[in-house]
Structure 1
């Protein structure tokens, strides 16, 4: 696994015209740097996805690192994958299966036995 340090974020590189650029240059983002940790679009997307999912990192910080002009562009990394949604739903149902659900007291005028049959609490 590749780790990125603060020195990596301060890395300056020359653009194709020989000008030095760093992350504080508005025309330079992590996508345009020729740094070994950002060698491909796949690496960039993986890093963005992981940073966006980190609860201790602000999405605006991820936006800045990626060089996005609009936060909505960075928000795409928050979307859950199909596998994550399925895993979450299955975990939800597993938790519910182990919970003892106590039905609320019926409102006046309702027959508790009829409600039990209606909601499947009796065979």
Structure 2
């Protein structure tokens, strides 16, 4: 679940990963994209890889096949089979019953998308690419800020402008330019 909620991969896409597709040191996992069938590496949270390793150790102790070409996700009952979408969905339904919730695997993709779009330093172009959306307009439903968020962002904008006005960056004229001429052209104190 940590991979679904951090990568934004579709449920079926994450199930295409083999052991060789995980690069914990780079925080990447590779998947086959649903629409294009292209291989794409996706960034994932550090805790995803911790949970993966715990899962792998438990599975390997039980006898699940291991090796770089082996599927990453397995059923944990014999006979060992690669985890498919229907089994993952059944696992999720069981988890929902335990928790008294009604989430779907696709809701985890929405959660990842909301988290990425709420990060002001994360470009929507990157989010679009990570999610493999053909059009950026698909992200519109995730970027509707509340009135409080708009006011807070607007006030922060004006605070930054005021800070820049009070503490302007020092300017050094380019060589061979007369500082007095630059002051006349661009304003500012005369020397």
**TM band (smaller chain):** 0.3 to 0.5
TM-score (norm 2): 0.29
TM-score (norm 1): 0.40
Structure with bigger helix share is 2
